[in-house]
């Protein structure tokens, strides 16, 4: 990876409509973004929702990619991809056709109103770490200094009820 590119991790999920199709279409759209290359996709994981109103199970996955885009530019494209999929924002943790979360962007730390990287709850969520550890076990979380494999191991080792599975 060149000095002008950064490794990015994205979480992806859907629990409305044709979940698999929403994920596959979003992955195809991400592969087409100018300035994005080397997209690697985990397997799909079916998971129970965490929080929010009663709703159906999610289909989740994780992606890694290399990009020369700035975080805001990539985030804005991700929001547009969600919009094309009919994503509606409003109620927190509500069901959604498509959810794209910017989990990690190299070793950057971003704290803006609508964009926080590393994703603040990623280390507590099996639906994020289970797929991410498949494709990027050695990726390092810039705040904890731990690899994704170590974060996953720590999460799996927690007593039942302490982790958001």
pLDDT reported for residue 165: 43
**Sign of the torsion formed by the C-alpha atoms of 127, 76, 65 and 98:** positive
pLDDT grade, residue 99 (50/70/90)? very high
Q: What is the pTM of this model?
A: 0.91
Confidence label for 50 from pLDDT (cuts 50, 70 and 90): confident
**Averaged pLDDT score across all residues of the chain:** 91
Q: What pLDDT was estimated at residue 86? A: 77
Question: Which structure tokens are listed for 123?
Answer: 């280390």
How many angstroms separate the CA atoms of 43 and 82, rounded?
20
Superfamily name and number for 6-122: 7,8-Dihydro-6-hydroxymethylpterin-pyrophosphokinase HPPK (3.30.70.560)
Distances (CA, A) of 19 to 44, 54, 75, 116, 151: 10, 17, 21, 26, 27
The percentage of residues in the chain with a pLDDT greater than 70, rounded to a whole number, is 91
Are 81 and 23 in contact, with CB atoms under 8 Å apart? no
Q: Is the pLDDT of residue 85 over 90?
A: no
Reply yes or no: is the peptide bond before residue 118 cis, omega within 30 of 0.
Answer: yes
pLDDT tens digits, one per residue of 108-129: 999 999 999 999 999 999 999 9
Query: Which residues carry out catalysis?
Result: 87, 96, 99, 101
pLDDT value at residue 3: 58
């Amino acid at each position: 990876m060149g000095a002008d590119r950064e490794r990015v991790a994205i979480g992806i999920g859907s629990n409305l409509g044709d979940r698999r199709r929403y994920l596959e279409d979003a992955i195809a759209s991400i592969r087409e973004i100018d300035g994005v290359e080397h997209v690697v996709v985990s397997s799909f994981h079916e998971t129970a929702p965490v929080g929010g109103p009663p709703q159906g199970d999610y289909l989740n996955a994780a992606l890694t990619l290399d990009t020369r885009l700035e975080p805001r530019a990539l985030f804005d494209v991700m929001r547009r991809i969600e919009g094309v999929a009919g994503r509606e924002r409003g109620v927190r943790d509500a069901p959604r056709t498509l959810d794209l979360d910017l989990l990690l962007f190299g070793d950057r730390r971003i704290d803006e109103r609508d964009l926080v990287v590393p994703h603040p709850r990623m280390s507590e969520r099996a639906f994020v770490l289970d797929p991410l550890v498949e494709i990027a076990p050695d990726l390092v979380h810039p705040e904890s200094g731990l690899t994704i494999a170590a974060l996953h191991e720590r999460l799996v080792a927690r007593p039942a009820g302490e982790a958001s599975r």
